[in-house]
Amino acid sequence: MAHPITSSRSLAAYRSSLGLLVLGACSVEPLALSTQGGLAAYASSTASAPMYKLEGWQDSDRKLLAAALDQTWGVVTSADFQNRVADVTNLHESRGGPVISGARLLELYLNDRLPVTYRSSRASGETADTGIAGDHGLTNFGIDNLARWPAGETPDELLERACMINTISHEWTHAISDARAHVRFTDGCHGSSSVPLVSYTVGSIAHCVYLEQKHVIAHDRFWPCVAYVGTATFSGLSVCEKRKWLSQI
């Protein structure tokens, strides 16, 4: 069933109480071309793992990120995620950009996303940004994000993991290139959009699919969850930390 996405409830007051925060929020301008051995350096995506390379990570962090990437891949290759994205009817590719159908987006997301090199970034905190460098994406991934991948799966821990899944799946939308080898789906990094954007909506759908699969939210709360987490921007880190919002959707 076609599902028009609303551009979220009004979150301005909510966000202002949190100050500026960005979670998986950025795409960056095209990077200097650096093929780094070409695509042969990346393992191919399989049913259980996406294509990526980790550069400059300590072993313990590497394991956490690899686990989160694999789990996120499991979410976005699930029928739950794919059916939801395919149902969306009014996503904008960027601010002021054209509308793209959910079905077309899904095709690009699963088949045309470039492999990604992840560099650890101490400066980025709990953010990430992604650019395209020729034949691959390059994500600077704030190591503070890793705190969102706790060892266990208590309800509180699942909320945190959902935020990491949001960040990773969001950044993957920025690893799809346009005809000029630039990031196709941008979100401008700062501030809010007046329309639902591909990047935030994909992140929120993955976020809420994960919460539904883990029985944190009920099936009929799925779209309210997506609206709350945000389709034009990210609602805020409290969705990662407190359960209160779950009773408001």
Kindly list the residues in this chain that would bind Zn ion in the complex (CB under 5 A).
25-26, 187, 199
Nearer to Zn ion, 51 or 232 (CB): 232
Measured from the CB of residue 28, what is the shortest distance to Zn ion in angstroms? Answer: 9
Nearer to Zn ion, 26 or 65 (CB): 26
Residue with tokens 């409830």: 9
* CA dist 240 → 136, 159, 217 (Å): 30, 5, 14
Nearer to Zn ion, 26 or 249 (CB): 26
Measured from the CB of residue 27, what is the shortest distance to Zn ion in angstroms? Answer: 5
Tokens matching residue 218 = 């009920």
Measured from the CB of residue 199, what is the shortest distance to Zn ion in angstroms? Answer: 4
Nearer to Zn ion, 103 or 189 (CB): 189
